[in-house]
Amino acid sequence: MPGARSIFAILAFPSAYAQWDPSRYLYFTTAGNSLSSSLPLGNGRLGAAVYGSAIEKVSLNENSVWSGSWQDRGNVNSKDALSSIRQKLQNGDLSGAGKQVLDTMSGVPTSPKQYHPTVDMEIDFGHISLDNYMRVLDTSQGTGWVTYTAGGVNYTRKYVASYPAGVLAFRMTSAPVRKLNATISLSRKQGVQSHSASISGDNSITLKVNKGSIAFTSEARVVNDKGSVASDGTSITVSDATTIDIFFDTETSYRYSSQSAREAELKKKLDNAVEAGYLAVRTAAVTDASAILGRMNLDLGSSGAAGNEPIPTRLSNYKKNANAGPELVVLYFNYGRHLLLASSRDTGDRSLPANLQGLWNDQYSPPWQSKYTININTEMNYWPALITNLAETNKALFDLIDTARPRGAAMAQKMYGCDNGFVIHHNTDLWGDAAPVDKGTPYMMWPMGGAWLSQHLMEHYRFTQDKAFLQHRAWPVLKQAADFYYCYLFMYDGHYVTGPSLSPENTYIVPSNMKTAGRQEGIDIAPAIDNQLLWELFTNIIDAAKILGIMGTDLTNAQNYLSKIKAPQVGSKGQTLEWRNEYKESEPGHRHMSPLFVQNLSRCFESTHRWRMRAGSGSTGWSRVWAMNLYARLFEGATIWSHAETFLQTYPLENLFNSGENRWFQIDGNFGFTSAIAEMLLQSHSVVHILPALPASAVPNGSVKGLFARGNFVVDIEWSGGSMTGATVTARSGGQLALRVENGADFEVNGKAYTAPINTTAGVKYDITKK
């Protein structure tokens, strides 16, 4: 990590910007002025968005600060209406069914809680104009810093989010010494109950909130070297100091129900951090984050001089000409890994996963409530978790699923009269809210959230081979998810089907042979995505039962239901049918690619995808990267690359946050981009497939180290001239290794021709070479 001295050395020679590895650092020569131009840092629970402005602004978040407490929104009229709605669907009265769904099944109130800002920190240095300005985020350590001169003095601000210490820690310094003045304050627009600063004993600023949100206490501790300290009762002013350290924490009623318990936790964390001191807190934080992020390294070649520009220039150059180099792709990939680790860690029994904005939010009405949208977006957040070797980030997602299960079990009873199993609809919140969300036929009535989320636990097992995890964490979720459908599904036309349900957020035109022909509707029986999710769920149950030696009804139910799920239907254009019938779509270029859930290499999958893309899909950041991930399954490297270029020319905000509709921040596109780049280089859906979709002409030479594959294999690959020059596979737990290289090329393992899967030994490395 370059210290202040090396930073200033570089400032003296601007051409030496080359030293800032263009694949690793986001750097700016101007301050940020919004969340989407800030430097985002986080320890999985606390987030900091650093503006680096003259009067420093840091927007602070704690991921359990939401708009309120638990509320049972389930609609008591659902259960009695269910059979009449199903009858209407079967009779072809799609509009009638849709209307009755809205009338009887929508949540009361219609929306769950929303994610809220915690507090803002301001640090007023008395500086007006900042010269020789630099602002940097290091994606390999999760740290940020700002350097500048003002009034002939050199100033440095450093920022770190510590996972081990559970706090944020900032250090400000001046050179020469004792030139640092700062007034530090915390503020919040809503619900502040008390706000105070104290300089007797600890120098602390405390803000307590207990209205319009869950209750919490935030505190900043100020530690100065040299200088004097004063307070006006709400802020702290330090004068003539050489360094000022600030430690910050927030603890909430979500994790500690009594005020005394959360304030004891707050005091403990801050006391420990102050006692250890900034340097020790920083060293431990950097050691932790860089060990995890450093498991992987990606090199796609150099961008040359184009990579040495500040981020805004790199982005605008790239817009004009994507030949501005592959390092922007690699930086975006690395940034995705940094953002995931920063927003999703094991922070105790009730860890919270990355929401629609990770954990960075400065608005009381954020886009889509910044919640957990589980009809694609939350799942996409976790696509890079395993393949890019960040398995521990999954824990927070699994904790939220466990929080949601009892809620979902109560909802299964209340809405559908099902005594077993759990159901969640298309969104959830920190309480595991399980009711339908918002009120509209294209999105509200979708009882498949539990099925989709449960798949992530089975995949976690497939990658890690951790049987204890499969037995104690994954199996209970899979079983409870499946148990719901054994009660809920009904027989129609010889199949077990869902209904009322929908194909996420898409609509069709009611055909002429059904009632209300010509109307735009969303509700139906057995949309393709539901069948495919059920197919996956029952297959996962059967696979898990086999590994765990589970017999009896858990196994036989899954086998029975699997055999009666409707197979994918092919339409007149060779596409996978999205709904029960070949309805005309209202929006052929829809952003969701739901019918392609089972990313199968069948022809109809391919034609549906192309058809939707031709019609203009990929219209939001996350939809575009969804397309990239699908093209990876089609082994079309050049197409992935061209979408990656379009993505980078279109969707990144100033700090490379992905944008959704209307250019607002939505983090799923950051994560989906990262997974798509990984899937270009390695896939392990059925075999460990090396370079399945390399864009050979765009990135002829390169290497990747530390990708993670199903079977608990770690894979390093090098290539040149568009083809593999060597790879190693490290078997973490032994087991069978089935391999494929590129498009079925011949290769050797440890110098012997590969003809069939090999039995590996735990801890041993296998060298793969081409003949």
Ligand X SMILES: *[C@@H]1O[C@H](CO)[C@@H](O)[C@H](O)[C@H]1NC(C)=O
List Cβ<8 Å contacts ≥24 apart for 470-476: 470/544, 470/547, 470/548, 471/548, 473/398, 474/544, 475/544, 475/548, 475/550, 476/405
Structure letter (DSSP) for residue 34: S
Q: What is the CA radius of gyration of the chain?
A: 27
For residue 66, is it left (φ>0), alpha (ψ between -120 and 50) or beta? beta
CA 431 to chain CA mean position, Å:
18
Between residues 581 and 701, which has the closer beta carbon with respect to ligand X?
Answer: 701
Question: Of the candidates 586, 600, 646, 769, which one interacts with ligand X according to CB under 6 A?
Answer: 600
- Residue 343: which of 556, 576, 71, 61 has the closest Cα? 61
Site pattern 683..722 for ligand X (x: CB under 6 A): -----------------xx------------------xx-
Among all residues, whose Cβ is closest to ligand X? 8
Q: Provide, rounded to whole angstroms, the least separation between the CB of residue 623 and ligand X.
A: 22
Range 97-126, binding ligand X (CB under 6 A): 126
Q: Provide, rounded to whole angstroms, the least separation between the CB of residue 595 and ligand X.
A: 10
Pairing of the two strands 39-42 and 46-50: antiparallel
Between residues 60 and 534, which has the closer beta carbon with respect to ligand X?
Answer: 534
Between residues 398 and 535, which has the closer beta carbon with respect to ligand X?
Answer: 535
| CA dihedral angle for residue 252, residue 254, residue 257, residue 261, rounded to 10 degrees | -40
Site pattern 24..53 for ligand X (x: CB under 6 A): ------------------------------
Peptide bond into 588 cis (omega under 30): no
Alpha helices (runs of H) in 294-442, residue ranges in sequence order: 311-320, 327-343, 377-381, 383-387, 394-416
For residue 698, is it left (φ>0), alpha (ψ between -120 and 50) or beta? alpha
Rounded-to-integer distance, Cα 754 and Cα 741, Å: 10
759 binding ligand X? (CB under 6 A): yes
Question: Of the candidates 164, 301, 476, 734, which one interacts with ligand X according to CB under 6 A?
Answer: 301
- Stretch of residues binding ligand X (CB under 6 A), selected from 3-11, 44-52, 91-99, 269-277: 3-11
8 binding ligand X? (CB under 6 A): yes
Between residues 211 and 603, which has the closer beta carbon with respect to ligand X?
Answer: 603
- Stretch of residues binding ligand X (CB under 6 A), selected from 5-13, 34-42, 467-475, 665-673: 5-13
β-bridge mates for residue 162, sequence order: 167
Alpha helices (runs of H) in 465-515, residue ranges in sequence order: 467-469, 475-488
Q: Provide, rounded to whole angstroms, the least separation between the CB of residue 21 and ligand X.
A: 17
Q: Provide, rounded to whole angstroms, the least separation between the CB of residue 600 and ligand X.
A: 4
152 binding ligand X? (CB under 6 A): no
Range 511-540, binding ligand X (CB under 6 A): 532, 535
61 three-class SS: strand
Between residues 234 and 602, which has the closer beta carbon with respect to ligand X?
Answer: 602
Place of tokens 């509709």: 661
Between residues 499 and 568, which has the closer beta carbon with respect to ligand X?
Answer: 568
Question: Of the candidates 154, 224, 388, 575, which one interacts with ligand X according to CB under 6 A?
Answer: 154
Q: Provide, rounded to whole angstroms, the least separation between the CB of residue 70 and ligand X.
A: 37
Between residues 218 and 501, which has the closer beta carbon with respect to ligand X?
Answer: 501
- 324, amino acid identity: A
Structure letter (DSSP) for residue 115: B
- Other CB atoms within 10 Å distance of the CB of residue 440: 16
CB neighbour list of residue 546: distance below 8 Å, 6 or more residues apart: none
- Stretch of residues binding ligand X (CB under 6 A), selected from 9-17, 516-524, 548-556, 630-638: 9-17
CB 236 within 8 A of CB 183: yes
Range 548-587, binding ligand X (CB under 6 A): 567-568
- Stretch of residues binding ligand X (CB under 6 A), selected from 62-70, 339-347, 398-406, 595-603: 595-603
- Other CB atoms within 10 Å distance of the CB of residue 721: 8
Between residues 141 and 154, which has the closer beta carbon with respect to ligand X?
Answer: 154
- Stretch of residues binding ligand X (CB under 6 A), selected from 83-91, 93-101, 551-559, 594-602: 594-602
- Other CB atoms within 10 Å distance of the CB of residue 759: 9
Q: Provide, rounded to whole angstroms, the least separation between the CB of residue 176 and ligand X.
A: 5
Between residues 79 and 564, which has the closer beta carbon with respect to ligand X?
Answer: 564
What the block records as the tokens of 368 is 């889509």
Peptide bond into 568 cis (omega under 30): no
Q: How far is the CA of 637 from the CAs of 195, 209, 235, 622, in angstroms?
A: 55, 51, 55, 19
- Other CB atoms within 10 Å distance of the CB of residue 15: 9
Place of tokens 């149950």: 541
Between residues 35 and 482, which has the closer beta carbon with respect to ligand X?
Answer: 482
On the 0-12 / 13-18 / 19+ scale of CB atoms within 10 A, 253 is: buried
Between residues 291 and 567, which has the closer beta carbon with respect to ligand X?
Answer: 567
Between residues 72 and 124, which has the closer beta carbon with respect to ligand X?
Answer: 124
Between residues 154 and 674, which has the closer beta carbon with respect to ligand X?
Answer: 154
- What phi and psi values does residue 76 have, to the nearest 5 degrees? -65, -15
Structure letter (DSSP) for residue 472: I
Range 367-406, binding ligand X (CB under 6 A): none
Site pattern 443..482 for ligand X (x: CB under 6 A): ----------------------------------------
- Stretch of residues binding ligand X (CB under 6 A), selected from 7-15, 33-41, 86-94, 398-406: 7-15
Q: Provide, rounded to whole angstroms, the least separation between the CB of residue 152 and ligand X.
A: 9
**Binding residues for ligand X, how many (CB under 6 A)?**
25
632 three-class SS: helix
Between residues 126 and 726, which has the closer beta carbon with respect to ligand X?
Answer: 126
- 389, amino acid identity: N
Between residues 106 and 455, which has the closer beta carbon with respect to ligand X?
Answer: 455
Question: Of the candidates 199, 598, 653, 687, which one interacts with ligand X according to CB under 6 A?
Answer: 598
Question: Of the candidates 77, 187, 210, 239, which one interacts with ligand X according to CB under 6 A?
Answer: 239
Q: Provide, rounded to whole angstroms, the least separation between the CB of residue 238 and ligand X.
A: 9
How many CA atoms, within 13 angstroms, populate the side-chain half-sphere of residue 323? 1
Helix axes 327-343, 278-293, angle to 10 degrees: 120
Range 164-183, binding ligand X (CB under 6 A): 175-176, 179, 181
Q: Provide, rounded to whole angstroms, the least separation between the CB of residue 535 and ligand X.
A: 5
CB 428 within 8 A of CB 107: no
Between residues 520 and 600, which has the closer beta carbon with respect to ligand X?
Answer: 600
Question: Of the candidates 12, 128, 491, 753, which one interacts with ligand X according to CB under 6 A?
Answer: 12
Place of tokens 């590996």: 760
Please report, as ranges, the residues that interact with ligand X according to CB under 6 A.
8-9, 11-12, 126, 154, 175-176, 179, 181, 239-240, 301, 532, 535, 567-568, 598, 600, 602, 700-701, 720-721, 759
